[in-house]
Structure 1
């Protein structure tokens, strides 16, 4: 195992130990049996100094290399996480439209709203909280507003408003639900068209982020040693930090510009 590989593992271990983890929401409904988050975070930080000393003992070159590898790994993981979030939001919007079709069909057939919500929950899990509220005689619009906080679930907020209008004015809720489904279907078609037109910008940003790799390969092909310059000289450290920083800012900026609001 080379010192650079060892340093990279130590840096990645430090990040995994120090960064807090996100627990699942259902854990809040169960008694807490583990230490408090602040205490767990403090215990993780206690392990950071020994790992940092081990990295320093390996030498500046390997420390810089490990930090660069950790930064590149973080960039890759953040891009993958954003891709998964966009995909999950698209899936949720599609499920909500399918659930609204089921809800409108059941209400038109004369089924009670509680049973109609149960049928809609089979197509979209976000309707489970509304079905539970309706079954217990709770605030169904409030439950829908709560579920609408998830990415891609803004259509549930419109459904909550339609539910309130139907309760206060006596309007036909089935007709409102059917029109809402048609509106969300048209909005989703526009959303997909916009996302497809912005896919080129995202691909261009990823290609530009990979250009420094080709530059390093080109440098070695010409007989230079770019990695030695970047990891062994102070000027190289500045260039490496500036390059990684600009790459991270560029990717984040491009992602925000190409983001399609749900």
Structure 2
């Protein structure tokens, strides 16, 4: 039954695109014409399917746990890279806005100039889109950010908050923009130092999570044959699932702890 479910999941991933989807792709710029399946998803589904067919049910569950953990770590790394990229774009935008405001440009043209600068050399930037939206609202006489609380998770909302503060209290916007840039630089330097300091504990956690595998290999070299016991259908299979779950949980827990330190 598990093999049938995993096979159906693989079939859904590799199901070809319909004619309507191809027509939609042709009307939508910036998208690929072929529906490609990421190799990470292929491995995440294919590994448990191969395990349940070749070895058995217990090995399939253990393989699924390992695959899910690998996919989670890759998604987390991509999210961190995306956040760092948005921070770099925001720092560049703030530098451009500071330069434009220092020569007497109004806030809206300065914001639009920063968005254009970010659009050079890269296809799309969330920071550039946000700055373009704020500049357009300001030029049309509307509020720069009508719903600030809903945009707290966006990196560029700091510019909108500084802009609204300057308009409401009559403060020079260039000073607020420089303050936002200085705060962002300080936060980035703190995050860089913290990541460097946590490199040792992260490596230790990764080594500890892999120690059971090393122990199994040593036992196999000594002639105890633990692999045959773990791949069996009795108590060894249960121990394989429990051991894999504990190793995965320890690795995920250590990553959560380090993430909390970085988020402070």
- TM-score, normalising length: structure 1: 0.72
Q: Give 1:161 deviation, angstroms.
A: 2.4
Do the aligned partners of 2:58 and 2:233 also contact (CA within 8 Å) in 1? no
CA drift of 1:100 comes to 0.8
CA distance in 2, matches of 1:186, 1:68: 43
Q: Is the 8 A contact 1:144 1:159 kept in 2?
A: no
Structure 1 residues 173 and 16 mapped into 2: Cα distance closer, same or farther (>3 Å)? farther
Q: Is residue 80 of structure 1 aligned with residue 74 of structure 2?
A: yes
Which position in structure 2 is the counterpart of 1:106? 100
User: By how many angstroms is 1:216 displaced?
Assistant: 1.8
Deviation at 1:199, TM superposition (A): 1.7
1:127 and 2:128 matched? yes
Counterparts of 1:181 and 1:10 in 2: how far apart (Å)?
A: 51
Q: 1:218 to 1:12 in 2, by over 3 A?
A: farther
* Structure 2 equivalent of residue 141 of structure 1: 145
Tell me, what secondary structure is at the counterpart of 1:211?
helix
Q: Where do 5+ consecutive residues of structure 2 fail to align? A: 14-24, 29-47, 119-124
Conserved? CA contact 2:162–2:173, under 8 Å: yes
- Separation in 2, partners of 1:12, 1:206: 31
Alignment of 1:235 with 2:230, yes or no, is no
TM-score by length of 2: 0.71
- What is the deviation of 1:177? 0.3
Distance between the aligned counterparts of 1:214 and 1:9, measured in 2? 33
1:14 aligns with 2:18: no
- The yes-or-no answer on 1:90 pairing with 2:91 is no
Change (3 A) 1:83 1:120: same
Counterpart Cα distance in 1 of 2:236 and 2:88: 49
Query: How many residue pairs get matched?
Result: 220
Unaligned segments of structure 1, at least 5 residues: 1-6, 19-26, 31-50
Structure 1 pair 12/107, CA: closer, same or farther in 2 (3 Å)?
A: farther
CA distance in 2, matches of 1:186, 1:104: 18
Partner in structure 2 of residue 181 of structure 1:
181
**Aligned-partner Cα distance in 2 for 1:251–1:235:** 24
Task: Give the Å deviation of 1:230.
Answer: 1.1
**Pair 1:17–1:210, CA change in 2 (3 A):** farther
Quote the Cα distance in structure 1 between the aligned partners of 2:149 and 2:254: 31
Q: How does 1:132-171 map to 2 (within 5 A)?
A: 132-136=133-137, 137=140, 138-142=142-146, 148-150=152-154, 153=155, 156-171=156-171
1:196 aligns with 2:196: yes
Are the counterparts in 2 of residues 129 and 144 from structure 1 also a CA contact under 8 Å?
Answer: no
